[in-house]
Structure 1
Amino acid sequence: MHERTLLGRRGEGAAATFYERNGYRVLDRNYRCAAGELDLVVGRSRTVVFCEVKTRATDHFGTPAEAVSLQKQARLRRLAAAWLACRRPKAVEIRFDVVSVIVRDGRLHLTHIPDAF
């Protein structure tokens, strides 16, 4: 597996662990459909959270979260609609989060941005 892919998977794993430690249940990881892929879908109570995880080896060119453009946000909304249509959860509230992960000194540093857009 490519080093960049492995780094992304580590970041997604760290994000999933973060949510689980905060009382969320992982509903889906790397959900794929014709419109693309959702990194992480988690739920707690009646809320479903669609999380975009951005992992970088450095922050020399800005934070990973800055890579979530308006175009990417629109794609994530379409993906969320597809996921909701397919899974039909009983949730009444949805939220879009971004988790930014940067590697420093071999350790992952996570920043959670709830309700990012």
Structure 2
Amino acid sequence: MKRYEIDLIVMKEDTIVFVEVKTRTKEEFAKGYESVNHAKQARIRKAATLYLMQSRLPLLEVRFDVISVGYNSMGESPANILHFKNAF
């Protein structure tokens, strides 16, 4: 049986928001949001579909967001936090 993961599930008014959080300690190779490719998006959509079927929530708007957290070169406090609403 496959396992799926969703980092955050948030209610915002009449919208249910599924959030993928990506953190990178060194951003010189790639930003966190760059790793949310089509395959990852498909897995998140599948997980969201299963969640909605099992939760039996009333019909709501659905949105998929990505939060990208990048740390500075010393690995200290986040240097860059980006929130992409309705990312895919």
Aligned-residue CA RMSD (Å): 1.6
Fraction of identical pairs, as percent: 39
Q: Relative CO higher for 1 or 2, CA cutoff 8 Å, sep ≥ 6?
A: 2
Structure 1 length normalisation: TM-score? 0.67
| Structure 1 residues 1-117: aligned runs within 5 Å | 34-104=2-72, 106-108=76-78, 109-117=80-88
- Kindly provide the CA deviation profile for residues 31-75 of structure 1, in whole angstroms up to 9, marking residues without a partner as x: xx9431111111111100001100010111121100011011111
Bigger share in helix: 1
- Kindly provide the CA deviation profile for residues 58-93 of structure 1, in whole angstroms up to 9, marking residues without a partner as x: 111121100011011111110000110111223520
User: Gaps (5+ residues) in structure 1?
Assistant: 1-32
User: Gaps (5+ residues) in structure 2?
Assistant: none
4+ residue runs over 6 A deviation? none
Equivalenced residues, count: 85
